[in-house]
Amino acid sequence: MLNIKNLHARLEQKEILRGINLQVNPEEIHAILGPNGSGKSTLGRVLVGDEKYEKTEGKMTLEGRNFDEMDSAERAQAGFFLSFQSPPEIDGVSAKELLLAAKKALDKDFRSSFRLKKELSENLKKLHLSDEFMTRDVHKGASGGERRKMEMASLLTIDPKIAFLDEIDSGIDVDAMKAIATAIQEFMKRKGKALILVSHTEKLLQMIQPTHFHVLCAGTIVQSGGQEIMERVHQCGFCDFIQEKKKNSQLKVVS
């Protein structure tokens, strides 16, 4: 579904992504782990087409369609959804208005604000949020946990093909974590969906059971595998992976 090959990107002359390779197929959940500042959020922003970032090398395709030829709106229309690490407040726009505009942009036959309201209300309920969040300005004055739950309600309402969730679990309480995990599970039960999840929380990862794990260090994926990666990270931290990467790059220079 999503194919990333040798992706390099920079921000203001600073190279952040240094050759990312990642293939995500339908029904797969890919967890991305990695130390702070390693480029996880940058990957999400480059994928969504944030113009601040310059892609210098590589290729990203979604179902064979080249992201280079698409702006952010077209990437969303193709089925890509990004939840930011710090979702911003949007003054003067309610969630209902925003999501109705998004639904109309994604599906030209979607017109019914009544249907949107119904769907959104059901999804808010699943996240234990009141209908008040429909009419309030997006994320205005909302707590971290409320913002993240709102992002999940939006995800369920937009119903993309693939979502990139950037630390959707940071700073939330146990109940919010459960609600978010349940929402992720519901999304993944829908046909042919895929997910990329940036997370530091073992609890959420245990609830979600990703199919693939990757460790991102200094802009490259240094290790990929299954559950054993998460266990190694939670036992030893990222130092092991960083040491290993250093050793491998030294070996490459020597050979």
User: Would you tell me which residues interact with ligand ADP (CB under 6 A)?
Assistant: 11-12, 14, 16, 34, 36-42
Asked if 41 interacts with Mg ion (CB under 5 A), we say yes
Q: Which amino acid is at 15?
A: E
Residues composing the chain: 255
CB 180 within 8 A of CB 172: yes
CA-closest candidate to residue 148, choices 119, 173, 112: 173
Strands 137-138 and 212-217: unpaired
The closest residue (CB) to Mg ion is 41
CA-closest candidate to residue 23, choices 3, 52, 50, 43: 3
CB 148, min distance to ligand ADP, A: 16
* Residue 14 or 191 having the CB closest to ligand ADP: 14
* Residue 9 or 183 having the CB closest to ligand ADP: 9
What is the distance between the alpha carbons of residues 136 and 90, in angstroms, rounded to a whole number? 10
CB 41, min distance to ligand ADP, A: 3
* Residue 120 or 165 having the CB closest to Mg ion: 165
Q: From the list ligand ADP, Mg ion, none, pick the one residue 77 interacts with, judged by a Cβ distance below 5 to 8 Å according to partner type.
A: none
What is the distance between the alpha carbons of residues 162 and 144, in angstroms, rounded to a whole number? 23
Count Cβ atoms within 10 A of the Cβ of residue 114 and give its class: 0-12 exposed, 13-18 middle, 19 or more buried: exposed
Q: Is 57 left (phi over 0), alpha (psi -120 to 50) or beta?
A: beta
Asked if 201 interacts with Mg ion (CB under 5 A), we say no
* Residue 39 or 145 having the CB closest to ligand ADP: 39
CB 16, min distance to ligand ADP, A: 5
Number of residues located near Mg ion, criterion CB under 5 A = 3
Q: From the list ligand ADP, Mg ion, none, pick the one residue 34 interacts with, judged by a Cβ distance below 5 to 8 Å according to partner type.
A: ligand ADP
**Of the residues 25, 61, 85, 201, which one makes contact with Mg ion according to CB under 5 A:** 85
Q: Would you tell me which residues interact with Mg ion (CB under 5 A)?
A: 40-41, 85
